[in-house]
Amino acid sequence: MAKRTHVASDLTLEQIEQQVVLKGWVQKRRDLGGLIFVDLRDRSGIVQVVFGDNSKEALELADKIRSEYVIEVAGKVIKRDPSQVNPNIASGEIEVVADTLTIINKAKTTPFAIEDDVEVNEDLRLKYRYLDLRRPVMYDIFKMRSDVTRTIRNFLQNEDFLEVETPILTKSTPEGARDYLVPSRVHGGEFYALPQSPQLFKQLLMVGGFEKYFQIARCFRDEDLRADRQPEFTQVDIETSFMSMDEILEMNERLIQAVMKDVKGVDVQIPFKRMPYTEAMNRFGSDKPDVRFGLELVDLSDLAEKTTLKVFTGAIEDGGVVKAINFKGGADTFTRKELDELANFVAIYKAKGLAWLKVTEEGLVGPIAKFFGDEVTAALIERMDAQVGDLLLFGADKANIVHDALGALRLKLGKEHGLIDESKFEFLWIVDWPLFEYDAEEGRYYAAHHPFTRPFDEDIELMDTNPAAVRAQAYDIVLNGYELGGGSLRIFEPELQNKMFELLGFSEEEAKEQFGFLLEAFEYGVPPHGGLAFGLDRFVMLLAGRTNLRDTIAFPKTATASCLLTAAPSEVSPAQLDELSLRISATARK
């Protein structure tokens, strides 16, 4: 075989008259008046090759080639006839007249066409992932993914960060219920766990004086899978010492700015907006608001009290809220049936109904209009900035239900009615998170983030008196309505860490059992530290404008955590189980 001289996209008018050797796959063959045209595909793109009378031998052989054959072609670059120029491909102004053809490998007919916009069942794509990956659109995603990691690494290494690899075979942690376990052969009956994140190790590296750590780290979580979850995922994991929250956010803004510039050619303005958690919930009904469009939630609780509508007044009496969104110009958008469907939609989020009002020349029109007096109506119209033709949609319930329901409705309407500028990238920090979540059923507090999260210094005294009011020095980074990542400053004082465990209901023994080595480490001079982690898969998904996380993972698993290509997981031999001192329970679901 000859040495390849070029890839497809190298060939432009500059190579005219040059002899070239190309290698790749047959995308398409067309026979036309004694000539054979072949679209040769390689990783870079497509180039047109012409077989004709100049080489009878090659022409004859070209008659035998089929789609996806692997071939080698030697020939001369010539200019295409102007009428034949293809502006969609890099080599569109030239073609290669073949002197010789070598069939390197044959191919059966593929189960689906190797084309960007092929319509094919995803299971089939996953079973034949190696064919799916031949589609240029897939190559482009993985090229982007590789470019993203390149920019991230170069940025962080230029900022003096070390990339440090932390163990994959590690210890089961308290959130252990979702750990993947790995039986030990040497220590029969004992198990390693795959890390849900490198959290403990990155904190230990701070104790170890590394000061600036990062890792593009594989993490594992054995949870019940949803469409957008994978058993293994990749996170850009960062931890620093001696930096304030402002410094950490600022550095990460520059990191994201660099990625957007290098990978998308987009200039992102920094600093990003910062929005307190409660503001995000109040205005957008979400802790990861998509701020590319309005349709904000407006609080009407004070007005609702003055209506005679039982649903409204009752919600307020029960400690709930009444909020609404103004779907501008939407008064005639929906039929009565479609409005009912919207009510069904918010019911998913436990809303008991979806009250609505149309704004017309004659005033507010709708089933609930009659419960509003003139004064309330006027105040409502003013607060909702309501104009003739608008549609007002109401939620009345506990705050979290109203936020969930109207937040989801807001997104649905935004997407389905073209309110979102999809070309925009709106980054946003959500800050001032609560440190604790109260579980009313169990009557106890949980760590909203994780038990190492640092409270605001001025809130520490509230830990004893009003835990629910303690704010965490935590931050999430949100992009276009997706949580891209998050982090926090960490507790670095042993006393505060112990107090935290106490509040979370850990006995001293439990804390020691689960975090003993970390607590011990904390006695030897721990620097103030904090960090952040981005979900790389999701970031790439958003950058590539995709909606399926699996498209960003070379060999993903299905929603039941199976690999359709290799048929993993699978049974293993009794000998292997013996070596691991294990037996399968009779109850194993088969």
Closest CB to a copy of itself among 341 and 578?
578
Of 80-88, 383-391, 448-456, 556-564, the segment contacting a copy of itself by CB under 8 A is 556-564
User: Applying CB under 8 A, does 261 fall inside the site for a copy of itself?
Assistant: no
User: Applying CB under 8 A, does 76 fall inside the site for a copy of itself?
Assistant: no
Length of the chain: 590
C-beta of residue 202 within 8 angstroms of C-beta of residue 531: yes
User: Applying CB under 8 A, does 196 fall inside the site for a copy of itself?
Assistant: no
Map the footprint of a copy of itself across residues 206-225, applying CB under 8 A. 207-212, 218, 220, 222
The residue type of 118 is V
- Rounded CA separation 555/281 (Å): 36
Residue 589 neighbours by CB distance under 10 Å: 4
User: Applying CB under 8 A, does 344 fall inside the site for a copy of itself?
Assistant: no
Q: What distances in angstroms separate CA 374 from CA 209, 241, 307, one per listed residue? A: 67, 60, 10
Q: Which of 170, 149, 161, 168 is nearest to 216 (CA)?
A: 149
In the complex, minimum distance from the CB of residue 41 to a copy of itself, in angstroms, rounded to a whole number = 8
Q: What distances in angstroms separate CA 83 from CA 50, 51, 93, 117, 578, one per listed residue? A: 16, 19, 10, 26, 71
C-beta of residue 136 within 8 angstroms of C-beta of residue 45: yes
Of 176-184, 260-268, 387-395, 504-512, the segment contacting a copy of itself by CB under 8 A is 176-184
User: Applying CB under 8 A, does 464 fall inside the site for a copy of itself?
Assistant: no
483 belongs to an annotated ligand binding site: yes
Closest CB to a copy of itself among 348 and 554?
554
535 belongs to an annotated ligand binding site: yes
Q: Which are the contacts of 316, defined by CB distance < 8 A and separation ≥ 6?
A: 301, 304, 305, 322
User: Applying CB under 8 A, does 590 fall inside the site for a copy of itself?
Assistant: yes
- Rounded CA separation 7/518 (Å): 53
User: Applying CB under 8 A, does 153 fall inside the site for a copy of itself?
Assistant: yes
User: Applying CB under 8 A, does 205 fall inside the site for a copy of itself?
Assistant: yes
Map the footprint of a copy of itself across residues 483-502, applying CB under 8 A. 492-493
471 belongs to an annotated ligand binding site: no
- Rounded CA separation 527/428 (Å): 28
Map the footprint of a copy of itself across residues 238-257, applying CB under 8 A. 241-242, 244, 247
The 504-533 contact track toward a copy of itself, x by CB under 8 A, reads: -------------x---x-xxxxxx-----
Of 166-174, 254-262, 303-311, 426-434, the segment contacting a copy of itself by CB under 8 A is 166-174
80 belongs to an annotated ligand binding site: no
Closest CB to a copy of itself among 71 and 351?
71
Closest CB to a copy of itself among 203 and 286?
203
Q: Which of 561, 393, 417, 543 is nearest to 482 (CA)?
A: 543
- Rounded CA separation 396/281 (Å): 15
User: Applying CB under 8 A, does 271 fall inside the site for a copy of itself?
Assistant: no
In the complex, minimum distance from the CB of residue 76 to a copy of itself, in angstroms, rounded to a whole number = 20
Residue 7 neighbours by CB distance under 10 Å: 18
479 belongs to an annotated ligand binding site: no
